[in-house]
Amino acid sequence: MRSKTGNVKYYLFLFSILVYLRVSAQEQHSFLRELPPVPPTVSVASTLPVSFNSYLISFKVYQTSFDVLLPVSDTVRKKDKDGDGVVDSLDKCPDEKGAVQYDGCPIPDSDNDGIADDTDNCPTVAGLVKYKGCPAPDKDGDKINDEDDQCSSEPGVARYGGCPVGDKDGDGVNDDDDKCINQPGTSKNEGCPENKKSRATVTPEKKKKK
């Protein structure tokens, strides 16, 4: 629809807004605006009571239709107390920042290692950030992680820095259990040498012939 008054032209704009954010809303507005005769720049001032980010607006001018994606300023905002982007009416944890996929609640951390399950390669075992949520490796299985194990390829004990207990005299009895660490002995004798009693061999005397 068009009318002329001197050099001023008027156009009738019809547009629809379709918004998606869990719920759908559709509004249709018709209005008459005076436009300056300087194409292709068009500026229309209008405030709409909506609370979303951008809209696909369809214009119809002189029987010609076209779509334009335009940002629209918010004039009404739904309450989001924790500021996580999930409005309170849909937020199951409205007092705690969360994620949309968890309905506004924080991403779970099943092993309580401070690394959220969605980035934790070992979500059921507590681990470290540098190992992507997994525990530090323990190659020799002695329960001393390789970072602290001075003998990472040989099972040992913590008080020896992850190395095996020493055996100074090389008798196979470790120094912790060896009561004679400087003398090779036997495990039966707690690492000490066995005391062998000397046995004298008595040779029977031969009887003299008469």
pLDDT category of residue 197 using cuts at 50, 70 and 90 = low
Q: What is the mean pLDDT of residues 61-70?
A: 50
Percent of the chain with pLDDT over 70: 56
Residues sharing a CB contact under 8 Å with residue 155, sequence separation 6 or more, in sequence order: 140, 141, 142, 164
pLDDT for residue 67: 52
pLDDT for residue 19: 42
The answer, yes or no, to whether residue 68 has pLDDT greater than 60, is no
Q: What is the mean pLDDT of residues 160-170?
A: 92
The answer, yes or no, to whether residue 143 has pLDDT greater than 60, is yes
pLDDT for residue 111: 97
Q: What is the mean pLDDT of residues 137-144?
A: 95
Percent of the chain with pLDDT over 90: 49
Output the DSSP codes for 41-102.
Answer: -----------SSEEEEEEEETTEEEEEEEE---S-----TT-SSS-TTT-SSTTS---GGG
- On the CB side of 87, CA atoms within 13 Å amount to 11
Q: What is the mean pLDDT of residues 109-131?
A: 96
User: What digits encode the pLDDT tens for the residues 28-58?
Assistant: 444 444 444 434 433 444 444 444 444 455 4
pLDDT for residue 78: 77
DSSP character for 160? G
Separation CA 40–CA 45 (nearest Å) = 16
* φ and ψ at residue 71, rounded to 5 degrees: -75, 140
Q: What is the mean pLDDT of residues 61-84?
A: 62
Separation CA 168–CA 23 (nearest Å) = 77
pLDDT for residue 208: 52
